[in-house]
Amino acid sequence: MHEDLQRLTRELRKETCPQRVLEEVARRISAQSPQPSRLRYALAGALAGLILLCGLALWQWPPGRDGHERLQQAAGSKIDNAQIAEQAEGALGCIGRVLLDAGSQSEKVILQGAVPPLRDSLETAKNKIVNHITL
């Protein structure tokens, strides 16, 4: 490479950016960042107050309308319990009757349907055994 060119290269490598450039950059960056204004604080305060009021309103809500609803619900539940007990009693009575009927029916069926053939078959078997022994 040309001697002067080498010298130029060396000289240009020594060049540095002045410090004032960085200072100016820092100043412009700090100017860019938005400053919190009074309006922002006022808006934040108003929002916080609103949230507080809503919280208080919700806290006060149950003794009013909600309490009345709860009483109605409790009364409704008592009625429901009585009805259920009544219905259950009826259902149990019905089941008892059905079981008694079934018992009586089954007794009849067993005495009339199952016992005579069983007795006959036992008689037959006994006769056969007796005859076989005699033979």
16 forms part of the interface with another protein (CB under 8 A): yes
HSE toward the beta carbon, residue 16, CA cutoff 13 A: 5
13 forms part of the interface with another protein (CB under 8 A): yes
The C-alpha atoms of residue 68 and residue 61 are separated, in whole angstroms, by: 11
38 forms part of the interface with another protein (CB under 8 A): no
31 forms part of the interface with another protein (CB under 8 A): no
Q: Which of 21, 58, 71, 79 binds another protein (CB under 8 A)?
A: 21
Cα 36-40-43 angle, rounded to 5 deg:
165
9 forms part of the interface with another protein (CB under 8 A): yes
20 forms part of the interface with another protein (CB under 8 A): yes
Q: What is the largest CA-CA distance in the chain?
A: 150
28 forms part of the interface with another protein (CB under 8 A): yes
**Number of H-type helices and E-type strands within the chain:** 5, 0
Question: For binding to another protein (CB under 8 A), which residues are involved?
Answer: 1-2, 4-5, 7-9, 11-13, 15-18, 20-22, 24-25, 28-29
